[in-house]
Every structure is written in structure tokens, then in C-alpha cells.
Structure 1
Amino acid sequence: MANLQLTHASILNSSAQLLVLPVNNAGVILDPVLTRAKALFPDNYHRYHRACRDGSLSIGSCLLHKRTREKAGLGISSNGNQPNYIANLVISNHSYHHIRKRWLIAALIDLQQQMMPLIRYQGIRRVALLARPLISSNQSDIAPNKNDETNTLALDWHTDTLPLLTEYLQDLPKLRIDIHLPKDTIL
């Protein structure tokens, strides 16, 4: 059983072995934390961007990337605190478009299936998930809590997104998942 914890701490300073970054399949990054992650983990960004250009990255999927470790230079000093894996959770078709419930569910199922071998065979125990792209910034766009999966309005964090994260990630064994929220979001 996974232990999910909400936090306001910076995801880029976490000691997680796996970072989960919600992205789109257009290759457009507007979130400031994702832009910083692009600079910190260029190998992940190049692979993600190439998959977007090729058209091989579909909405509702997860692109898992095993990071290459730096052996020399200034980057070697920070290798101990950096993640071994980065999961690019494809949740929309563009940064300006809202997340749909069916896309988020499909991406979480794909993430869950790709994480099982990492937990079993690679000893992954700490995961950090960036929640900012999953939270609607415009409160007038938030949809009422409905089971209609074709709704194109934004998902509400407390009634839609957080319950989905809990439902699809809590059954992973022996795992601590820190969900990193913006400071203005209530825990």
C-alpha cells in the first residue's frame, strides 16, 4: 500500500528516486517548474521533445526515462539527490487545453504498470509528483463533479483529480508518493 502525502516543498529539491511530471504531447512547456526541470534534466527533455515531434507520444500515456548519470564535471556533485527515473505523464494535447478525466485515468494506469517492475526489481521507494499542471488556475473553468468523461471543462482538484490520484496510485506496494502542490493550494 502506497503512502500518499501532500506537500508544498519544491519538487526539484526532493530526494525522490522517480519524478512524475505532467506534460502535454505538443512539446510545449509553460509551467515554470517544468521549464526548470527541462534545464536540470536535458536528457529527459530531449527524449520527450523527440517523441512529441515524431508523433509517437499519445495522450493518456506515460513516457518513462532512465536518467544517465554524469561521471565528470560540475553535475557529478548533485547526482546523489537527483532522480534515477523521470516519468512524463501525458495528460493533455496542449498546455492551454484542460485535462480530461479519461486522459488522466489512462496516463495513471500506464504509469502504474510501468512502475511495478521498478518497485520490484530496481528498489524504487520514493516518488515525487508535480501537481501544478493538474490544478486549474481559472476557477470559472472548473466543472461540477460529474461522471461524464466527455466533459471538456477543467477538473476540480479536490473532487476529481486528487481522488483519481489516490485511487490509481495507492495500491502500489511499499511506496511513498509525495504530491507537490503550489503554495496557494490548501492541503
Structure 2
Amino acid sequence: MANLQLTHASILNSRAQLLILPVNNAGVLLDPVLARAKTLYPDNYHRYHRACRDGSLNIGSCLLHKRMREQAGLGISSNGNQPSYIANLVVSNHPYHPARTRWFTTALIDLQQQMMPLIRYKGIRRVALLARPLIFDNPRDTATHQSTETNSLPLDWQTDTLPLLTTYLQDLPKLRIDVHVPKSISL
């Protein structure tokens, strides 16, 4: 059983072996943490951006990237704190559009299937998930996003996002998942 823990700590300072970053398939990163991850992990960003340009990255998928270790320069001193893998969880089709239930669910299923070999054969035990892009916190835009279809409504943290995370990630064996939430969310 996986152990999910909510935290307010910075995800970029975590000692996780796998980072999970919710992204869109347009290739544009507007969240400040995602923009910082773009500069910290350029190999991941180039692969993600190339997949977006090619049109090979579908909404509701997960692009898992094994990071290349730096062999020289200033980056070598911090290699111990950096993740070995980065999972780009595609939960939206545009940076201004919030994640939807069906996209998030299929992306979590894809992530779960890709994580099983990493847990079994690569020894992954610590995971960090950035939750801020999954939280819809702009109430004035709710009217423009409402629809008659429940799958097209933006995700709510308490009723949608957290239960989906628990449902799809709880059954992963021997894993600690730190869910990094903004300070506006109470622990």
C-alpha cells in the first residue's frame, strides 16, 4: 500500500526519486513551479515539448522520462537530490483550461501502469506530485466552464482530485507519495 501525505514544502527541494508534474499537451507551462522545473530539468522539457509539437502527446496520458545524469560541471554536486524519473501527467489541452475528471483519471491509470515496473525493478520508493495545476481556484470562471456533462466540469480538490489520487495511487506497493499542495489547502 502506498502512503499518501499532503505537504506544503517545495516540490523542487524534495528527495523524491520520481516527480509527477501535471502538464498540458500544448507545450506551454505557465505555473511558476513548472517553469522552474523547465530550467532545472531541460532534458525532460525538450522531450515533452517535442512530443507536444509532434502531436504524439494525448490528453489523459503520461510521458515518463528517465533523466540523464550529469557527469561534469556544477550540476554534478546536486545529483543526489534530483529525481531519476519525471512523469509528465497530461491533464489538460491548454494552459488556461483546468483538468477534467476523465482526462485526470486516464492519466492516473497510465501513470500507475508505468510506475509498476519502476517500483518492482528499479527500486522507486519516494514520489512527489505537484498538485497546484490540479486545483481549480478561479470561481469567476466557473460559469464559463460549466456544462451538462459531468466529465467536463473542472476538478474540485476535496470531492474530485484527492479521492482520484487516493483511488488510483493507494494500491501501489511500498511507496511514499508526497502530494505538494498550495498553502491555501489545509492539511
Q: Say yes or no: TM over 0.5.
A: yes
Q: Which residue of 2 aligns with 1:12?
A: 12
Local SS of the residue matching 1:81: coil
Unaligned runs of 5+ in 2: none
Change (3 A) 1:39 1:173: same
Contact preservation (8 Å) 2:61, 2:89: yes
Identity %: 81
Q: Which residue of 2 aligns with 1:87?
A: 87
TM-align CA RMSD: 1.4
TM-score (norm 1): 0.94
Post-superposition offset of 1:141: 4.7
Amino acid at match of 1:10: S
Amino acid at match of 1:24: N
Q: Which residue of 1 aligns with 2:121?
A: 121
Q: Which residue of 1 aligns with 2:154?
A: 154
Q: Which residue of 2 aligns with 1:40?
A: 40
Trace 1:96-107 onto structure 2 (pairs within 5 A): 96-107=96-107
CA distance in structure 2 between the partners assigned to 1:109 and 1:178 by the alignment: 18
Post-superposition offset of 1:149: 5.9
Amino acid at match of 2:68: T
CA distance in structure 2 between the partners assigned to 1:129 and 1:85 by the alignment: 12
Post-superposition offset of 1:100: 1.1
Post-superposition offset of 1:137: 2.0
Contact preservation (8 Å) 1:141, 1:153: no
Trace 1:34-73 onto structure 2 (pairs within 5 A): 34-73=34-73
Q: Which residue of 2 aligns with 1:170?
A: 170
TM-score (norm 2): 0.94
Contact preservation (8 Å) 2:102, 2:151: no
CA distance in structure 2 between the partners assigned to 1:132 and 1:73 by the alignment: 32
Post-superposition offset of 1:153: 2.8
Unaligned runs of 5+ in 1: none
CA distance in structure 2 between the partners assigned to 1:34 and 1:149 by the alignment: 30
Post-superposition offset of 1:140: 4.5
Q: How many residues align?
A: 183
Amino acid at match of 1:31: D
State the Cα deviation string for residues 66-113 of structure 1 (Å, max 9, x = none): 000000000001000000000000001001112110000000000000
Q: Which residue of 1 aligns with 2:27?
A: 27
State the Cα deviation string for residues 144-171 of structure 1 (Å, max 9, x = none): xxxx864433111001110000000000
State the Cα deviation string for residues 25-84 of structure 1 (Å, max 9, x = none): 000100000000000000000000000000000000000000000000000010000000
Local SS of the residue matching 1:80: coil
Contact preservation (8 Å) 2:6, 2:179: yes
Q: Which residue of 2 aligns with 1:179?
A: 179
